[in-house]
Structure 1
Amino acid sequence: MAVIYGICHLADIKNAGSIVWQTILYFFIISSVAISIGFIFGIAIQPGSHTGIQIVKTKVILPSRFEINDSSLSSVIYRNRYAIFLIASIIIGICMNLSKRRKSFLNILDKGLVIFYHIIKYLYIILPVIIFCNIAYGISVYGINTLLPLSKVVGTAYLADIAFIFGVLGLVSYIFKFNLLKFLVSIKEEIILVITTSSSKTAFPIIFDKMESEGYSKKILRFIIPLGYNFNLAGACIYISVACCFLIQFYNISLSLNDYLWLFVIISVTSKTASGVPGSGFLALIFTLNRFGKIPANDIALLYSVDRFMNEARSVTNFIGIAVSGAIISKINQPVEKNAP
C-alpha cells in the first residue's frame, strides 16, 4: 500500500522524472553502503567466532499438509510472493496515477493507511508475550550461557548502525549542507515512538506532518517516504549482513569473494521484504539464508532469541535513513518546486 501511495503522488511533482532517478540512485547507493558496513563490522569483530555455544541437533517435523513441493507453481509463487507484491504495487500505482479518478483512489488509500496503523497499534499489546517466548525458547534449547556470546552479535549490529547514522548519513548530510544533528533533534518524538514499538512504520503517518511543518516539500515527501519504507531499509541491510557473518563464523564456513558478492546481491533484494510488523527483519534473514543456500538455518533460533534487542536498532536506523532521504531529496529539489508554476 505504501508503494502505491508513493507512486500515486508522482503527478503532483513538477520535475518528477529527475526526482525518480535521484531516488533510485540514492536508495541504491545507501543500501549498498549499509550492507558493506554490516559485512565490515561482522568480519572485523567476528561475533560468531569462539562463542562456546554447543550446536544442538533439533529436528522439526511439519505435518504433511505444510510440506512445499519446490516444483509446483504454488511453491514458486510462495517463495517469490514479496517480489510479486512489489511489482504488482508498482503497476497498480502507475495505473492509478494515470486514472481520471486518481484523487478518489488517494482518499481511499489515506483512509486505508489510517485504519491499518490503528490495527497494528493494538497488535503491539502481545509483543511482550512474543519477546518472552523468543528468549525462553533460545535459553531452553541452547542454555542460559548462550546469552553472553550472543550479546556480541547484538553489540556488533548496534555499532554498525551507529557508524551508518553518524558516519554515512553524516557525510551525506555534510555534502548536501544539511544539518543532521538538528534534524534528528526535530524528529526525536518520532524516534522515541519507533524505539518503544520496535517498528519504523508506527511513525509513518506523523512524519509527514512533522517534516512538512519544518518546510520540506509535501509533494516530494509523499513520494519519497512511502517508497523508502520498502526500498531504503538501511537498518535491515545492516542487520541481515551482520547476522549472516555471525552464522558463517559460527559454522566456520569458508566462502570465496564470489560467494560474498552473491550474498551481497541477495541481501539487496531480500532486505526489501523487511518492512512490516516487528520481527519482519528476521523473516528477511530467513529468506536470505534460503536463497543463498550455503549457510545452514538449523540454529537460526539462536538469533531469534535476541532478535527483539536488534529489532530496536534496525527499526530506528530504517526510520532515520528514510526520513533523511526525504529531507535531502526535498532540499535538492525545493527551489524547483518553489519556482514551478
Structure 2
Amino acid sequence: MQAIKKSLFLQVVIALILGCLVGFFFPQFSKEFQVLGDAFVKLVKMLIAPLVFCVVVLGIYGAGDLKKAGKVGLKTIIYFEIMTTIALLMGVAVAYIFKPGAGMHIDVHSLDAASLTKYNENVHAVSNFPDFFLNLIPQTAIGAFTGAEVLQVILFAIIFGIALSQLPSEVKDPVASFIDKISQIIFKMMGLIVKLAPIGVFGAVAFTVGKYGLASLMNLGYLVVLYYACVIFFVVVVLGGILRLFGFNIFKLIGYLKEEILVVLGTASSDSVLPQVMKKLTQLGIKNTTVSLVVPSGYSFNLDGFSIYLTLAVVFIAQATGTALSFHDLIIILLITLFTSKGAHGIPASAIVVLAATLNSFPAIPAVGLVLILSIDWIVGIIRAVSNLIGNCVAAVVIGAWEKDLDFERAHQVLNNPELVKQQVQEIEATETVASPALHFPIAKDLN
C-alpha cells in the first residue's frame, strides 16, 4: 500500500483497470463518469496559458544572450518542420501501401453531415494562411490568456521576454523575480492537480468502455490498428534512430517518462504533464532555457502523431468514398497539411477540426466523409497524444545536443538509473524550500 501511495504510475495503472471493469460491468452507470475525465483536463488547461507565459519569459531572460535564444528558436523550427514533413509523408505512404479505405464504396449521400456541425465552428481558425497568421495575434494582451490558443500566449511571452531582456538590470531583475515567484505558485498548483490524475483517468476510461464497449480499447478496425502500428514504427525507428545518432536509447527515454506517458494514455491529452515533462527534461541535463523554448512551442508546431493521422485519414476518406487521387493531388494535400497541422493545440476535437479545414481546402474529397472516423477519434487520440509528447521530448534532447546545452554524462546517468534521480530530487525538495521550478529546475550541478 505504501508503494501505491507514493507512485503516481501505480495509481494510474489501478485507475485504468478499475475504469475498464466499471465500464464493462456497469455500462450505463459508467457513462456518468465522463465528467471526471473532462474536469481533470479542464483543470490542467486552466493553468496552461500562465504556465507557458512564465517558462518562455524566464527562458528568454535566463538565456541572457538574445542572439543565442534566437539561434535556438531557429534550429527548433527547422527541426520541427523536418519531422512534421516526415510524419506527413509516412501517413500518405502507409495509406497507399495498405489501403485501409479501399473497397468500402461509401455513398456520401448516405452520410449524415449533421454530426459535423459542432466541429465546423472552429474550422476558420486553421482554414487558410491569413486566418492562421492573424489568429497568432490576440485581440488584447489579456485575451491571449482567456482564449484557448497557446500560440497567442507564446507570441506575447516572446515579445515580453525580449523587451524585458533589453531593460536595465534594476528594472528587469525585480520583474523576472516576480514572474519567477508566480511560476512557483503555478507549478505548485499544477502539482496538486496532477495528484488527481488517477481520478481523471478512471472517469475517462470508464466512460469510453461504457459507451463503446471494451472492444473499443482493443480493436476499432483496420484503420486504428494501422495507425497504431505506424505511430509505434515512427517512435521506435524514426525518433529512436535520431536519438541513437546522439548515443541515446529511445526505450530508456520512454521508461524515464513512464508516469507522464501513462497519464496521457488515460486522458488522451498531453497538457496534463507539461510541467512534469519540462522538469524531467531539465533533470536529464538539458539547460532549462532550451527546454522552456522547445517544449511549449512543440505543443503547437511539433505534432508528429497528429501529422501522421492527418494525411492517413485524408487518404482513407478518399479511398472509402472512391475519390481518385493523382500524384499532383497528393502534393497539394501535403502542402495543405504542412500548414493546417500547425496550431491545432487548444482547439476542441482538434483532429476533426483540422481534418475539416484540410478537406475544405481540397474540395475534391467530400468533407462529409469525416463522419466515418468520428467514432474512433478518441481511441486514436490516445496514441496521438503519446507520440506527440515523446516527439517533443526527443526534440528537446536533439536541440540540447545540437546547441551543446545537454550534459551527456548526466543524461546517461539519469536514463540508466531514473529511480536514483527521483530519490535525489525528493531530498533536494525536502531541503530547498525556496527553489524555483522555472529558473532552478534541478539540473546536473544540483543533483551530482
Q: Normalised by the shorter chain, which TM-score bucket?
A: 0.7 to 0.9
Matched, 1:36 2:89: yes
CA deviation after TM superposition for structure 1 residue 102, in Å: 5.2
CA deviation after TM superposition for structure 1 residue 12, in Å: 2.0
The secondary structure found in structure 1 opposite 2:354 is helix
CA deviation after TM superposition for structure 1 residue 243, in Å: 0.5
Matched, 1:94 2:151: no
Residue in structure 1 matching 2:358, options 270, 281, 288? 288
Aligned residues: 321
CA deviation after TM superposition for structure 1 residue 4, in Å: 4.7
Which residue is 1:72 aligned to? none
Q: 1:50 to 1:76 in 2, by over 3 A?
A: closer
Which residue is 1:171 aligned to? 241
Matched, 1:84 2:134: yes
Residue in structure 2 matching 1:308, options 374, 378, 398? 378
Bigger Cα displacement from structure 2, 239-248 vs 250-259: 250-259
CA deviation after TM superposition for structure 1 residue 153, in Å: 0.9
Residue in structure 2 matching 1:219, options 280, 289, 308? 289
Q: 1:210 to 1:94 in 2, by over 3 A?
A: closer
CA deviation after TM superposition for structure 1 residue 277, in Å: 7.2
Residue in structure 2 matching 1:58, options 112, 118, 132? 112
* Residues 120-152 of structure 1, C-alpha deviations (whole Å, 9 max, x = no match): 97987874697479859xxxxxxxxxx98x611
Q: Name stretches of at least 5 consecutive residues in structure 2 with no aligned partner.
A: 1-48, 139-151, 165-171, 408-442, 444-448
CA deviation after TM superposition for structure 1 residue 54, in Å: 6.0
CA deviation after TM superposition for structure 1 residue 116, in Å: 8.4
Larger radius of gyration: 2
CA deviation after TM superposition for structure 1 residue 17, in Å: 2.8
CA deviation after TM superposition for structure 1 residue 292, in Å: 2.1
Which residue is 1:48 aligned to? 101
Q: Name stretches of at least 5 consecutive residues in structure 1 with no aligned partner.
A: 69-74, 137-146
Matched, 1:10 2:60: yes
CA deviation after TM superposition for structure 1 residue 332, in Å: 2.8
Q: 1:21 to 1:46 in 2, by over 3 A?
A: same
Q: 1:336 to 1:40 in 2, by over 3 A?
A: closer
CA distance in 2, matches of 1:62, 1:164: 30
5 Å-filtered alignment, 1:1-341, equals 1=49, 4=53, 7-8=56-57, 9-13=59-63, 14=65, 15-51=68-104, 56-58=110-112, 60=114, 83-88=133-138, 89=152, 90-97=154-161, 98-99=163-164, 100=172, 101=175, 104=178, 118=193, 127=204, 131=208, 151-276=221-346, 279-334=349-404
Bigger Cα displacement from structure 2, 314-323 vs 258-267: 258-267
Amino acid of the structure 1 residue aligned with 2:92: F
- Assess if the C-alpha contact under 8 Å between 2:104 and 2:321 holds in 1: no
CA distance in 2, matches of 1:258, 1:6: 43
* Residues 67-103 of structure 1, C-alpha deviations (whole Å, 9 max, x = no match): 99xxxxxx97795665433344254223211134455
CA deviation after TM superposition for structure 1 residue 335, in Å: 5.2
CA deviation after TM superposition for structure 1 residue 5, in Å: 5.1
CA deviation after TM superposition for structure 1 residue 233, in Å: 0.4
Q: 1:77 to 1:238 in 2, by over 3 A?
A: closer
CA distance in 2, matches of 1:130, 1:279: 17
Q: 1:79 to 1:278 in 2, by over 3 A?
A: closer
CA deviation after TM superposition for structure 1 residue 7, in Å: 4.3
CA deviation after TM superposition for structure 1 residue 163, in Å: 1.5
CA distance in 1, matches of 2:317, 2:261: 30
Which residue is 1:144 aligned to? none
- Assess if the C-alpha contact under 8 Å between 1:3 and 1:227 holds in 2: no
Bigger Cα displacement from structure 2, 243-252 vs 281-290: 281-290
CA deviation after TM superposition for structure 1 residue 274, in Å: 2.9
CA distance in 2, matches of 1:109, 1:330: 23
Q: 1:111 to 1:278 in 2, by over 3 A?
A: farther
CA distance in 1, matches of 2:116, 2:348: 25
CA distance in 2, matches of 1:200, 1:92: 22
Amino acid of the structure 2 residue aligned with 1:271: S
- Assess if the C-alpha contact under 8 Å between 1:134 and 1:304 holds in 2: no
- Assess if the C-alpha contact under 8 Å between 2:106 and 2:322 holds in 1: no
The secondary structure found in structure 1 opposite 2:403 is helix
Amino acid of the structure 2 residue aligned with 1:19: V
The secondary structure found in structure 2 opposite 1:48 is coil
Q: 1:62 to 1:31 in 2, by over 3 A?
A: closer
Q: 1:111 to 1:286 in 2, by over 3 A?
A: farther
CA distance in 1, matches of 2:255, 2:206: 32
CA distance in 1, matches of 2:126, 2:347: 19
Amino acid of the structure 1 residue aligned with 2:86: V
CA distance in 1, matches of 2:326, 2:292: 42
CA distance in 2, matches of 1:77, 1:242: 22
Q: 1:282 to 1:106 in 2, by over 3 A?
A: farther
CA deviation after TM superposition for structure 1 residue 176, in Å: 2.3
